[in-house]
Amino acid sequence: MLVLPLSFSLAACGTDDGKAEPVGTDGAKSVEAKQSPKPAAAPSPESPEDFLGLAEKAMAEEGPWTFSVTGQEGLTLQGQKSTASYRATVRRGMAPEALHSQGVSTSSKGAEENEEIYVVDGTAYLKQGAAPWKEAPASDPGMSNKIEDPVAVVEEFRAYAKAATGDEVGVTEADGTVELRVGSDRQKLTAVQDRAWVKKAVREFAPTAEQLRTAGIAVNDAQLTLSGLKEVLVLDAKTYRVRSHHFEFGFLVPYGGQDITFEQDVRQENQGPFAGRIELPVGVR
C-alpha cells in the first residue's frame, strides 16, 4: 500500500491593528493539516471478463506452475465398454511461455505407454513410448489434442465470454473460490455446434471419430447428439490464481438402431509454483 503525502497549509491570522496574533504560549503558529483524499477503491470484479483479467495477471506474476492432470475416455457399444486413462504432471512457464508434460496412458487391458511433450516457441515436441521425438506446430490438430495447458484455459474462457451470445459463462462465488462455467444438457449437436466450447469437444472427439470411420462406422456431425457438457474453471477468490479446471462431455453416435456412447473427463489441479526452468533436452531439436 502506498503512503500518500499530507498537504499542509500554514496561515497567520491578522488583527485589526496589523499585529500578528499569538496562538500559543510557545509562539507556534497555527497549522492546519489537510490529508489528500484517498483514491477510490478499485471496483469489485463482477463480469466473467473481470475475473479472467485478474486470473491472467495473477498467473503471470509467478511461475513456472505445476499441475496434476488426470483424464479418462470411454467408448460403449452394446454394453461393452473400452476405456483409456491418462495421468500426467504438467509444468507451465509464463515468461517466456513454455510447457513440459510427463505422463502415462493406460488402456482398458492395462497396457501402459509413456508420453512426454514440450511446447517451446509455438512448436510442440512429442515422444510416445519408444518412438522418436515428433515435431509439429503446437496448433496442429494432432498435437493440440495432446497438449493439456491449464493456463491457456483462461484465454479459452475469455473467448467464451466474448461470444455473440455473451451470457454463456456463469459465475459463482462460494467457499473462497470463484467458479466460471459453461455447459449444456443433452441436445442435438447441430443446435449448439457454433458454441466455442462445443467446438472444443468436437475437436477432442475427432481422433475417436476417425477410428470409428476406419472401422466402417459412419460418423456424421448432423446425426450426433451431445449427451451433455460441463466445463468449470475455478479461481482462488483472494488471489485469483487458477485452482483447477474440469472438462467433461459425451457424444451419442447412432449405429444399428442403437447408440455408441463416447465420454471424456479431464481434470487439472494447481499444485503451486516450482523452482526451475523449462528447456528442451539435448537432442530433441
Assess whether the previous peptide bond of 96 is cis (omega < 30° from 0): yes
SS3 206: helix
**Least confident stretch, 107-121, 160-174, 201-215:** 160-174
**Least confident stretch, 8-12, 21-25, 58-62:** 8-12
Q: Residue 17: its pLDDT value, please?
A: 47
**Least confident stretch, 1-15, 35-49, 185-199, 257-271:** 1-15
Q: Residue 16: its pLDDT value, please?
A: 43
Residue identified by cell 509413456 is 114
Q: What is the mean pLDDT of residues 241-263?
A: 97
**Residues 6 or more apart from 146 whose CB is under 8 A from it?**
115, 117, 124, 126
**DSSP string covering 110-149:** --EEEEEEEEETTEEEEEETTSPPEEEETTSHHHHTT---
β partners of residue 78 = none
**Least confident stretch, 59-63, 211-215, 243-247:** 59-63
- Reported as a pLDDT band with limits 50, 70 and 90, residue 14 is very low
Look up residue 133 and give its three cell numbers.
521425438
Residue 169 Ramachandran class (φ > 0 left, ψ -120 to 50 alpha, else beta): beta
Determine the Cα angle at 113 with ends 107 and 117, to 5°: 120
Assess whether the previous peptide bond of 64 is cis (omega < 30° from 0): yes
Residue identified by cell 447412432 is 254
Q: What is the mean pLDDT of residues 47-52?
A: 95
> Distance (Å, rounded) from C-alpha 16 to C-alpha 14?
7
Listed residue (74, 92, 71) closest to 83, CA to CA: 74
Contact call for residues 87 and 59 (beta carbons, < 8 A): no
Helix or strand (DSSP H, E) at 52: helix 48-60
Between 83 and 25, the higher pLDDT residue: 83
SS3 76: strand
Q: How far apart are the first and last CA of the chain?
A: 47
Q: CA separation (Å) from 57 to 63, 151, 209, 239, 240?
A: 12, 11, 38, 10, 9
Q: Is the pLDDT of residue 80 over 50?
A: yes
Average pLDDT along the chain: 86
Look up residue 199 and give its three cell numbers.
467446438
